[in-house]
Structure 1
Amino acid sequence: MDKRLKTKERILDAAWQLFHDQGFCDTTTRQIATQSNVANGTVFTHYPNKGALLKEAFDKQACALIVEAKQSNKQHSPRLSLRHFASFLYPFYIAHRTLTKTYFSELILSGRSESCHLSLLEHEIHQGQPFLKSKVPLLIDLYVMTFVFSEVDKHDDVGNTLRLLSTKLQQIG
């Protein structure tokens, strides 16, 4: 790995740790620079703003979970496969509730719908499946909105959220 990538990785890891420990709002780019042992301007060389840093750090963590979940995924339908991946991702979202809310808010408010982990999730549930590719984004929307609504209802129980997702997935033809 070249020096530029190593620096970017240090910044990303420091940001995730600080976001986790202090929260997104209470973490400054100066703290991230100090923690990653770079100049403050170097942070902005790699990331345009703190929101972009959160987005990439969050996606990195979530993608690692998707890769882990893929190893044990024995499901043959996109719906059951999505349920399997949700059993790994929903607990992560709940464990990092405040960062998850900020992450999804950043995605929605920035007008950018690109999310590396949701794109990877979409790819994994469609992979080799005889399922209309046009339905997969709808499944991802259902997956995200199920979690969002469970948060609004203050469900801390991953099992309840997974059951709600399963019920909704069964209703899709």
Structure 2
Amino acid sequence: MSTKREQTRTRILQAAWQLFQEQGYQNSSTRAIARAAGVADGTVFSHFKTKLDMLKAGILVQVDTVVAEADRLLRANTPEQRLLHYASHLYPFYAECAEFSRELFKELLWDQQELRPQIQAFIDKLFADKPSEDDRLYGQILMDLYFMTLLEGLGERTCDSDRMLAQLGAKLDHMSRAQPAT
């Protein structure tokens, strides 16, 4: 059973996410979020230092849900197939929430330390939880491809998850055919 503090935090996150979707991230004030959650303004800040922290936490909850569904449907055998599988679930989420995603990644580009545990857990998923040292380096390369494709897609006027997925597939295909220089 969750504590009263956890329940309040959840209510704030749900209210924030709903307002972000209805009014947009920039147009949603912390005061409006507090009102929608039925808490005092100060209570919001006792749970989240900034509105961006609410966005991060809200997206993390949503991403965890998307990844759990992708885990349930996973049938891929190779790291590349697994990456494409997860991207086929995550890219549509990020495209649907393009405004929030842009805002989040704009901040996280300069504070990647915060994402490291999630990225490492994702790399572990790509290699069936047992990556070797070489796998870890290759996993980082795969994550570079994943995130650069995502950022390129989010940078477009209209974010198209199918196009992002096709680009990621083409990049992975090209890598698999590339021969090392001799």
TM over 0.5: yes
Question: Which structure's CA Rg is the greater one?
Answer: 2
Match of 2:9 in 1: 8
> Which residue in the other structure is 1:47 paired with?
48
What is residue 92 of structure 2 aligned with on the other side? Answer: 91
- Distance in 2, Cα, partners of 1:108 & 1:34: 31
- For 1:14 and 1:118, the matched residues in 2 are separated by 27
**Alpha-carbon separation, structure 2, partners of 1:51 and 1:118:** 20
**Cα drift, residue 124 of structure 1:** 2.0
Cα–Cα, structure 1 residues 13 and 171, in superposed 2: closer, same or farther, change >3 Å? same
Match of 1:105 in 2: 106
Q: Against the structure 1 CA distance between its residues 36 and 42, is the aligned structure 2 distance closer, same or farther, given a 3 Å change threshold? A: same
Distance 2:21 2:118 in 1: 18
- Of the three residues 122, 146, 157, the one matched with 1:143 is 146
Q: Percent identity?
A: 33
* Deviations, residues 39-85 of structure 1 (Å, cap 9, x unaligned): 11011111110111101101110110000011111111111101001
Query: Structure 2: 5+ residue runs without aligned partners?
Result: 177-182
Aligned 8 A contact 1:15 1:32 in 2: yes
Task: Give 3-state SS (helix, strand or coil) of 1:38's partner.
Answer: coil
Residue 91 of structure 2 aligns to a residue whose secondary structure is helix
Residue by residue over 1:22-49, the C-alpha shift from the partner in whole angstroms, topping out at 9 and shown as x without a partner, is 1111111111111111111011111110
Q: Are 2:165 and 1:162 aligned? A: yes
Counterpart AA for 2:173: Q
Whole-angstrom distance in 1 between the partners of 2:120 and 2:10: 21
Match of 1:114 in 2: 114
Superposition pairs of residues 39-78 of structure 1, within 5 angstroms? 39-78=40-79
C-alpha deviation, 1:20, in angstroms = 1.0
Question: Residue 14 of structure 1 contacts residue 35 of structure 1 at CA under 8 Å; is this kept in 2?
Answer: yes
Count of aligned pairs between the two proteins: 172
- Residue identity matched to 2:154: E
Show structure 1 runs of 5+ residues with no match: none
Q: Is the 8 A contact 1:125 1:136 kept in 2?
A: yes
Per the TM alignment, residue 106 of structure 1 is displaced from its structure 2 partner at its CA by: 1.9
In structure 2, C-alpha distance between the alignment counterparts of 1:140 and 1:133, rounded to whole Å: 10
